[in-house]
Amino acid sequence: MNTTIKLTTTSWQNLLARFSTDASGESIWRKALRSTMPPLIGILAFLGIWHISASGIHTSLGTLPGPVAVMQQAGNLYQEYSNEQERERTFYERQKERKARYLTENPGQEFNVIKYTGQPTYLDQIFTSLYTVFVGFMLGTIIAVPLGILCGLNKTVQAAINPLIQIFRPVSPLAWLPIVTLVVSALYVSVDPMFAKSFLISAITVTLCSMWPTLVNTALGVASIDKDLLNVSKVLRLSTRTKVMKIVIPSSLKLIFTGMRLSLGVAWMVLIAAEMLAQNPGLGKFVWDEFQNGSSQSLERIMVAVFTIGFVGFVLDRTMHTFQQMASFGQRTE
């Protein structure tokens, strides 16, 4: 009996030891602690310095808010969203009751449904910005990837387009915005427009500023394809479409996604400035409106927006990094 207990205890100890160490023999807990402690210490140090120094900084909008005040304001913004959702739900419930009563009193008549037109909340602004950046980023990708493939396959085309890339790549969104505004205002004239002009201006500005990393990396990826693969396509007499779909794109997919990851980061940064100046609903307009408002809570709300912009940018980058790893077929990416 004692021998059985000892064997069982030894088995559990061996099992725990196996799951608590990695392949190199290092403790998993120690490894996890080493990877999480430095970031945690850095964040706590930042919050401590911010908390201590905030009270000594006085601006035209009041004292710089500390971490606690910003967190409280984030809670207030979420509460505003919840209250607005409740008002919208109540509005549609009352309208449903009026519709039922109206149809009972006037059978066969048509009831005009009224759409709720409440103020956009902070969370609504976040989703609007995400939608705008997604449209601008996708437009840029649709333009950049085919053009990059063409540049990578044809040196003459690359030599012709390269000067334009070098000229337009460093142009600030603040320089593009007036041109885009004038062009969209001149060409997009409609009595019942499908998209708001401010949205198109923001999305096109994002496209013009964010497409270059994808274009350059796609061209580099295509130009780096093993020549033997291209020679095989010539021997097999593959059509251009088949060669691009079966050989060129799969072979350069890693660098294409690297360019798309860089482009998405640029797109998110450009979007905030574009929304500010184009007055398109979103986080950029939220920051500008709060700055113009100048209330006692404006600075806290702006700082909430700053952290939101940073966090959303981080999530977008991690998402593209995941796709990049999937496209790398197991190769390590940074």
Which region holds residue 114: left if phi is over 0, alpha if psi is between -120 and 50, else beta? beta
Quick one: which of 246, 234, 255 has its CA closest to 151? 255
Query: Tokens 């012709």 appear where?
Result: 160
Which residues does residue 171 pair with via DSSP β-bridges, in sequence order? none
What integer pLDDT is reported at residue 183 of this predicted model?
92
Long-range contact set of residues 124-129: C-beta below 8 Å, sequence gap at least 24: 124/81, 124/281, 125/281, 125/282, 125/283, 125/285, 125/286, 126/283, 126/308, 126/312, 128/280, 128/281, 128/282, 129/271, 129/272, 129/275, 129/282, 129/283, 129/284, 129/312
- 20, 27 contact by CB (below 8 A): yes
Over residues 173-188, the pLDDT tens digits come to 889 999 999 999 888 8
| DSSP structural state of residue 21 | B
Across 60-70, b (16+ Cβ under 10 Å) vs e yields: ebeebbbeebb
**pTM for the whole structure:** 0.81
Q: What is the dihedral of CA 42, 46, 49, 51, to 10 degrees?
A: -130
Long-range contact set of residues 196-200: C-beta below 8 Å, sequence gap at least 24: 196/280, 198/278, 198/279, 198/280, 198/281, 199/132, 199/280
Q: Residue 57 burial by CB count (10 A; 0-12/13-18/19+): exposed, middle or buried? A: exposed
DSSP string, 89-121: HHHHHHHHHHHHHHHHHSTTPPP-PPPP-PPP-
Confidence of residue 7 (pLDDT cuts 50, 70, 90): very low
Confidence of residue 10 (pLDDT cuts 50, 70, 90): low
What integer pLDDT is reported at residue 23 of this predicted model?
55
C-alpha 283/C-alpha 273 separation (Å) is 10
Over residues 16-51, the pLDDT tens digits come to 555 555 555 556 667 777 777 888 888 888 888 888
C-alpha 105/C-alpha 6 separation (Å) is 85
Over residues 290-317, the pLDDT tens digits come to 888 877 788 889 999 999 999 999 999 9
| DSSP structural state of residue 192 | S
Higher model confidence: residue 106 or residue 132? Answer: 132
What integer pLDDT is reported at residue 316 of this predicted model?
93
What integer pLDDT is reported at residue 95 of this predicted model?
85
C-alpha 176/C-alpha 212 separation (Å) is 14
Quick one: which of 244, 86, 235, 17 has its CA closest to 153? 244
What integer pLDDT is reported at residue 163 of this predicted model?
92
- 142, 208 contact by CB (below 8 A): no
C-alpha 70/C-alpha 63 separation (Å) is 12
What is the mean predicted confidence (pLDDT) over 211-222? 92
Q: Residue 315 burial by CB count (10 A; 0-12/13-18/19+): exposed, middle or buried? A: exposed
Q: Which two tokens stand for residue 96?
A: 């449903």
Q: Which two tokens stand for residue 186?
A: 């001149």
Quick one: which of 175, 239, 241, 163 has its CA closest to 208? 175
What is the mean predicted confidence (pLDDT) over 66-82? 90
pLDDT at 264 over 50: yes
C-alpha 270/C-alpha 253 separation (Å) is 25
C-alpha 105/C-alpha 101 separation (Å) is 6
Q: Which two tokens stand for residue 120?
A: 């956009």
What is the mean predicted confidence (pLDDT) over 202-224? 92
